[in-house]
Amino acid sequence: MMADPIDMTHRILVVDDEPSLRVGLEMALMGANREIASCGDGYEALAALQHEKFDLIVLDLNMPGLTGLDVLNQMRDRGDMTRVVVCSAHVTERAILSAVRNGVVDFIAKPLSLQELRKFVSDVLEAHNDNPSTVEQAFVHARRLEFGVAAELLEESIQMHVDEPCLENWFRVFSILDSTPVREKHGIALDDARVLADSAVMRS
């Protein structure tokens, strides 16, 4: 018999080297039917993942020693496909590509909006794994560097008012990456992409 989703406990791992932010994230994500664990660096996170199972990982990208991307790469090498949300104040295009290829759920820019994070995490945890989301389908194309196809797929869902987290965020990011010449792509920041996209929307 399958467990009732209402009674299911979701386990979330927070990985961040900043103690105050880590505690803030833990408190923000606490709720009914949730267990929150935390780690202060990438090595500790990988050790925890060897012995425990989690439904979602909120992962800081820029950590000393083992970065968030290092943790993500080692997880996938082990066959660990736990859903991951990456947090960072500044993300390069190379980091975006690496994270997309490794199946991150989304990027969240620092400083974090804890209210937005709470809503997003709730949406992710409530999503059904049996049917791939539009964002997951778009990632398939993005991993092949088909950013235009990925953006079109997301745009169709936005126009159809599909209720799914992160559609507009990833539509803007993939649209910017699709319009950026290959020779200029390296080093573009995720925040810059979002600002450019927001400006384009305001001008239209």
Final residue in a domain of this structure, among 106, 126, 146? 126
Q: Is residue 40 scored above 90 in pLDDT?
A: yes
pLDDT exceeds cutoff 50 at 2? no
CATH classification at residue 41 = 3.40.50.2300
Give the pLDDT score at 99.
73
Domain extent, residue 108, equals 1-126
Tally of structural domains, the chain: 2
Last residue of a domain, one of 126, 148, 173: 126
Q: Indicate whether 109 and 12 sit together in one domain.
A: yes
pLDDT in tens, 109-157: 777 777 877 877 887 777 645 455 677 777 767 766 777 888 888 888 8
Pair (26, 121) in one structural domain: yes
Tell whether 4 and 43 lie within a shared domain: yes
pLDDT given at position 91 = 67
pLDDT in tens, 8-25: 788 999 999 999 989 988
| 193 lies in the same domain as 96 | no
More confident residue, 45 or 186: 45
Q: Is residue 101 classed exposed, middle or buried when 0-12, 13-18 and 19+ CB atoms within 10 A define those classes?
A: middle
Whether 107 and 55 map to the same domain: the answer is yes
Overall pTM > 0.75 = no
Mean pLDDT for the stretch of residues 66-76: 91
The last residue of one of the domains, among 102, 126, 150, is 126
If DSSP codes are grouped into helix, strand and coil, which group holds residue 148?
Answer: helix
Task: Fill in the DSSP letter of residue 139.
Answer: H
Judged against a pLDDT cut of 80, whether residue 191 lies above it is answered with no
- 86 and 7 within one domain: yes
Same structural domain for residues 158 and 110? no
Question: How far apart, in Å, do the first and last CA atoms of the chain sit?
Answer: 52
| Residues 147, 59 within the same domain | no
Across the chain, how many H-helices and E-strands are there?
10, 5
